[in-house]
Amino acid sequence: MNYTLGQLRVFLKIAQTMSITKAADELHLTQPAVSIQLKNFQQQFDVPLIEIVNKKLYVTDFGKEIARSAEKILDEVHAINFRMHAHRGQLTGKLKLSVVSTGKYVAPYFVADFITSNPGIELLMDVTNKAQVVASLEKNEVDFSLVSVLPDKLRVEKVELMPNKLFVVGNGQQRFRKTPHDKSIFGSIPLIYREQGSGTRHVMEKYVLRNNLPVIKKMELTSNETVKQAVIAGLGYSIMPLIGIKNELENGQLQIIPVKGFPIKSNWYLIWLKGKPLSPVATAYLNYIKAEKDEVIAKRFGWCERY
């Protein structure tokens, strides 16, 4: 046997996600690179690790055994690394974050310098919709969550990070006047919604009901990126967070449609369970956020003030 830690890591992720494409995304590798690693790993065994049936990937019983062993080996490697950093007097451990889907445009900038300055810390970040983020927080599976809508039924502590603005958005080919439209415009522009459980949808629906807007619901899609591409393609309009459409606004693929009462304003928050004992890593991160958030905002998000 001559397998590498990289091959173990790749195969474990494939077994967890049941997909080469998803494994590549989560490992930040290309799909061909993951496929090559899998092929090289498989060549060291006479028994198949996976099977492809009707284009769907299945892990064999033998593959599941190997995946369990791979997880134990990688856990031991992490433990060795943590002990090495601890011996040097460095902060070690895992920082676990759950982030709402549109928060992926925000969260990396609020962790990058902290992780770079503390190489003994492993970052585990799960990006999903608001309902699942709140569920992971309630189950005490994470240290912190990043949300734009505070949970109703959980007692949490919070740090306000930065403003969140939502605008009415259309593709760059449509012509709209520059003076603000009144709410009657919603009777003529079909809206694309996010899925149930999305924080963006929650804010959008709350605003629509409060202002009795005459909306036409065009379709429902399951990610901010999918909504963005649908709007660019001319399939409809949407109410979207500014933070996720910077490039498309700058290159003319999207435009903000001026409407009275917009933008809808909320805030991004870092939250954690009230009364939760924080680990040394989580405590250090919270102190970092409180001390450095203003500098991160000025450096990375100053462009938001133009809108």
Q: Where are the domains of the chain?
A: 5-87, 93-161+267-306, 164-265
Question: What's the mean pLDDT in 242-267?
Answer: 93
Which CATH code of 3.20.20.70, 1.10.10.10, 3.90.1170.40, 1.10.760.10 fits the domain covering 5-87? Answer: 1.10.10.10
CB 254 within 8 Å of CB 170: yes
Q: pLDDT band for 173, please (50, 70, 90 cuts).
A: confident
Question: 182-192: per-residue pLDDT in tens?
Answer: 888 988 899 99
Please tell me the predicted confidence (pLDDT) of residue 217.
Answer: 78
Asked if 207 and 180 touch (Cβ cutoff 8 Å), the reply is no
- The whole-number pLDDT of residue 222 equals 82
pLDDT confidence tier of residue 207, bands split at 50, 70 and 90:
confident
pTM: 0.68
d(CA 133, CA 151): 10
Q: How many helices (H) and strands (E) does the chain have?
A: 10, 11
- Spatial CB neighbours of 110, under 8 Å, sequence gap ≥ 6: 146, 161, 270, 289, 293, 296
Was domain 93-161+267-306 assigned CATH 1.20.120.530?
no
Could you identify the residue written with the tokens 């970040």?
Answer: 125
Q: What is the pLDDT of residue 130?
A: 87
Q: Which two tokens stand for residue 43?
A: 């060549």
Residue 20 vs residue 75, higher pLDDT? 20
pLDDT in tens, 153-165: 899 999 999 999 9
Report whether pLDDT(99) > 90.
yes
| CATH number of the 164-265 domain | 3.40.190.10
- Which two tokens mark 172? 């760059």
66 in Cβ contact with 11 (< 8 Å)? yes
Give the pLDDT band (50/70/90) at residue 197: confident
CB 109 within 8 A of CB 206: no
Q: Residue 128 belongs to what H/E stretch?
A: strand 121-128
Helix (H) or strand (E) holding 224: helix 224-232
pLDDT tens per residue, range 59-70: 999 999 999 999
Highest mean pLDDT among 53-62, 87-96, 210-219: 53-62
**Are 5-87 and 93-161+267-306 equal in CATH topology?**
no
The pLDDT of residue 293? 95
pLDDT (average), residues 32-42: 92
Q: Contact at 8 Å (CB) between 200 and 241?
A: yes
Residue 89 confidence class, pLDDT cut points 50, 70, 90? low
pLDDT score for 88: 62
